């Protein structure tokens, strides 16, 4: 464990608040808060952001999400705990997070077109991009995660 390199959130408060406002807007997305936060958690797992994994797992649990779904998200393909919509969104978020592998392939995008409105697809993209940005800030500046009892 290491300490925070710089307090980025207080050094650039306007940008920090704008990113927070984007998250607040996504909470009101027609996707539903649960799916948005499942995307946040999965992106954070891929990126290895301990602070964000802890935060979004706790947020999901406090909002009433099933513990087994939270705990199994890292292996979502191996369970039947997630709906077809959730599975399509998770697959797209994973591909968009791992862009070093190349563009998001059409076979990953097509299910979004079948299961979501264009607005919802845009919000899946924004949720994925926003969490990737938060992860890079938290990891890059070594945002510590405090040890705390699970809710």
**What pLDDT shows up at residue 101?**
74
**What pLDDT shows up at residue 151?**
67
**What pLDDT shows up at residue 148?**
84
User: What is the residue-wise DSSP string for 79-139?
Assistant: SS-S-HHHHHHHHHHHHHHTGGG-SPPHHHHHHHHHHS-HHHHHHHHHHHHHHHHHHHHHH
Instruction: Classify domain 11-140 by CATH architecture.
Output: Up-down Bundle (1.20)
pTM, 2 dp = 0.95
Plot region of 54 (φ>0 → left; ψ -120 to 50 → alpha; else → beta): alpha
Tens-digit pLDDT string for the chain (151 aa): 679 999 999 999 999 999 999 999 999 999 999 999 999 999 999 999 999 999 999 999 999 999 999 999 999 999 999 999 999 999 999 999 999 878 999 999 999 999 999 999 999 999 999 999 999 999 999 999 988 887 6
Q: Are 141 and 2 within 8 A, CB to CB?
A: no
**What pLDDT shows up at residue 1?**
61
Each domain of the chain, given as residue ranges in start order, spans 11-140
**What pLDDT shows up at residue 35?**
98
**What pLDDT shows up at residue 2?**
77
**What pLDDT shows up at residue 149?**
81
């Amino acid at each position: 464990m290491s300490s925070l390199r710089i307090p980025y959130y207080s050094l650039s408060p306007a940008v920090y608040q704008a990113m927070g406002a984007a998250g607040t807007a996504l909470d009101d997305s027609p996707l539903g808060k649960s799916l948005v936060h499942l995307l946040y958690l999965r992106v954070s797992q891929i990126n290895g952001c301990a602070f964000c994994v802890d935060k979004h797992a706790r947020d999901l649990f406090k909002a009433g999400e099933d513990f087994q779904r939270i705990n199994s998200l890292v292996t979502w393909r191996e369970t039947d705990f997630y709906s077809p919509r959730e599975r399509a969104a998770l697959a797209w978020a994973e591909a968009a997070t791992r862009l070093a592998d190349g563009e998001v392939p059409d076979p990953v995008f097509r299910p979004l077109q079948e299961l979501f409105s264009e607005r919802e697809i845009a919000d899946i993209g924004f949720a994925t991009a926003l969490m990737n940005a938060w992860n890079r800030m938290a990891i890059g500046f070594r945002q510590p995660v405090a040890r705390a009892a699970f809710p």
